[in-house]
Amino acid sequence: MNIRVELPNRLIFWMHRAATRVKKARHSLSSKTVHEMRTSLRRCLSLLKMLHTDDAREIISAARSLFKDCAILRDLQVMQDEITRLPMDRKTRRKILARFTLREKAARVKAIHAVRNFNPIQWQVLMQAAGAWEISPQDAAYFRQVALKRLEKVRKRYQTCSRQKVSAKDLHRLRISIKKFRYTIENCFPRLYGKYGRSLKKFQDVLGRHQDLIVLEKELARMGCLTPIFQKTLGNERDSLRRVFLRLAAACGKSGMWEWWQKKLKRI
């Protein structure tokens, strides 16, 4: 099977998306804007880590710096969103949100500084350099091996997590592995994304919210706001997400989804 590796075009797409989101962030660091900006930068980083050029290293440096400096703000925004979604009395909600608001001010200052320091002209130059990259047959073979290795890691962790009793740490590791594999397929071999691509996204979303709730519980405990009732509420939410995960796993078959991708990748 001769499948064209479309990494340069996809990288240009995500670099352009990141630049437009940074421009928006200069005017508003809303939850949506910060999330979309960091998602674009994460996509760029995921793709660039498979390349070994000086230009790639420069892009990685610029993207990673902004991505990290906005991380705390994004975490706080996610936790505040969760607080508004979870059932609790108004007094408790106001108290917790007030604590988060205080912490958010410092995180927002750091994020604003990072966004203003981002150099759009340098980023444009790096985009032009990335647009000139040519992917050789040897590169395509290398990307295939990367995809197969990431697939194998997902497969092993998936088997561990497809049990009724599984640790939060294992689920978190699986989410990270799925995300890396998904980005590889979506951006290097997008024509292979179709059949099970949506299932990958569903797994990632469910496991992502599960991890968000764990982070939230730890933060509330640190703040002294984790009451027994609230702890039970968070536990019930996580248990519900685990059941959703197991239903998704059952719908995809024990290993059929991973075997399908393995066969397709080996035919490239």
pLDDT in single tens digits along all 268 residues of the chain: 344 456 778 888 999 999 999 999 999 999 999 999 999 999 888 888 777 677 788 888 889 999 999 999 999 999 999 888 887 778 888 888 998 988 899 999 999 999 999 999 999 998 888 877 777 777 778 888 989 999 999 999 988 887 767 889 999 999 999 998 998 888 888 888 777 788 889 999 999 999 999 999 998 898 888 888 888 889 999 999 999 998 888 877 656 788 888 888 888 7
Q: Which of 105, 134, 163 is the last residue of a domain?
A: 134
DSSP H/E element including 52: none
Both 177 and 258 in one domain: the answer is: yes
Both 89 and 140 in one domain: the answer is: no
Q: How many CB atoms lie within 10 A of CB 74?
A: 19
Instruction: Write the CA distances from 255 to 18, 114, 179, 250, 260, integer angstroms.
Output: 35, 43, 18, 10, 9
Both 99 and 27 in one domain: the answer is: yes
The whole-number pLDDT of residue 109 equals 95
Query: 106 is in which domain, residue-wise?
Result: 1-134
Both 160 and 121 in one domain: the answer is: no
Q: Say if residues 147 and 172 touch (Cβ distance below 8 Å).
A: no
> What is the number of structural domains in the chain?
2
Both 119 and 235 in one domain: the answer is: no
CA atoms within 13 A on the CB side of 100: 23
Residue that is written with structure tokens 């990290």 in the block: 68
Both 167 and 263 in one domain: the answer is: yes
- What span, in angstroms and rounded, lies between the C-alpha atoms of 177 and 151? 8
Contacts 24+ apart (CB under 8 A), 169-178: 171/207, 171/210, 171/211, 171/242, 171/245, 172/207, 172/210, 172/211, 172/214, 174/203, 174/207, 175/203, 175/204, 175/207, 175/208, 175/210, 175/211, 177/150, 177/153, 178/154, 178/203, 178/204, 178/207
Q: Which of 134, 168, 201 is the last residue of a domain?
A: 134
- What span, in angstroms and rounded, lies between the C-alpha atoms of 160 and 94? 40
Both 129 and 140 in one domain: the answer is: no
For residue 18, the SS3 value is: helix
Both 123 and 183 in one domain: the answer is: no
Record the tokens describing residue 79, joined without a space.
């936790």
Q: How many CB atoms lie within 10 A of CB 88?
A: 15
Tell me how far apart the 2 most distant CA atoms of the chain are, in Å.
62
Both 262 and 140 in one domain: the answer is: yes
Both 130 and 253 in one domain: the answer is: no
Both 2 and 130 in one domain: the answer is: yes
Both 141 and 15 in one domain: the answer is: no
